[in-house]
Structure 1
């Protein structure tokens, strides 16, 4: 039996920790699978949907929401001769919801001081 409390003497991960780990796996897959993909303002929506559907295929994944910052893409392309650029974290705002062993973890990735920071924003559920 697991305990989520600080008095737990078990070295096994708690259900909440396992759910957070699952969330991290989803973000790793999303970011490293799609970073470098050619993207344009016109293709941003279809790429976002493909990213969502791809990651939602993974076990325990409840929902993925990907928003591509089209305004940032357009600014990037203003001084470039190409009609597309490479997808990086600076163009993405992502939310992933994972449910595992009665725990629901919501994680987000957004720019923070010029870095695409991924973080757990909520862990819900306490039943064993």
Structure 2
């Protein structure tokens, strides 16, 4: 059986999350570079097929808390510093996704699947 358009759209969302997370995890990030890194992440993922939009927010409070306990001016980017939303559109099916912290883990999930209006 061939996958439905909705299943393919969800698969595409998973590919984009994997790319976003694993391409940028470990990147040095500081309060001064947080915005430019977030924009670079958005632009990189938006280049991929079927990606309608990406919004990356670096969680500045969590970043500041991490740096308060460090002698360094930067730290490594991990999921605990990110809030990400993506919209994927495949063959008229729109998938809205999100990654944020849930019980200490950066959870990536599908929030909504619907026909594109």
Q: Provide the aligned C-alpha RMSD in A.
A: 1.2
**In 1, Cα distance between the equivalents of 2:55 and 2:3?**
27
Q: Within 5 Å, which residues of 2 pair with 1:1-128?
A: 11-125=1-115
Larger Rg: 1
1:126 shift after superposition: 7.4
- In structure 1, list runs of 5 or more residues that go unmatched: 1-10
Distance 1:125 1:38, change over 3 A: same
Contact 2:57 2:83 in 1 (8 A): yes
**In 2, Cα distance between the equivalents of 1:126 and 1:79?**
46
Kindly provide the CA deviation profile for residues 54-79 of structure 1, in whole angstroms up to 9, marking residues without a partner as x.
00000000000000001111100111
Contact 2:24 2:77 in 1 (8 A): yes
Kindly provide the CA deviation profile for residues 54-111 of structure 1, in whole angstroms up to 9, marking residues without a partner as x.
0000000000000000111110011101000000000000001000011000000000
Q: Give TM-score, length-normalised by structure 1.
A: 0.89
Runs of 4+ in 1 over 4 A off after TM superposition: none
**In 1, Cα distance between the equivalents of 2:36 and 2:27?**
12
**In 2, Cα distance between the equivalents of 1:126 and 1:43?**
35
With CA pairs under 8 Å and 6+ residues apart, which has the higher RCO, 1 or 2? 2
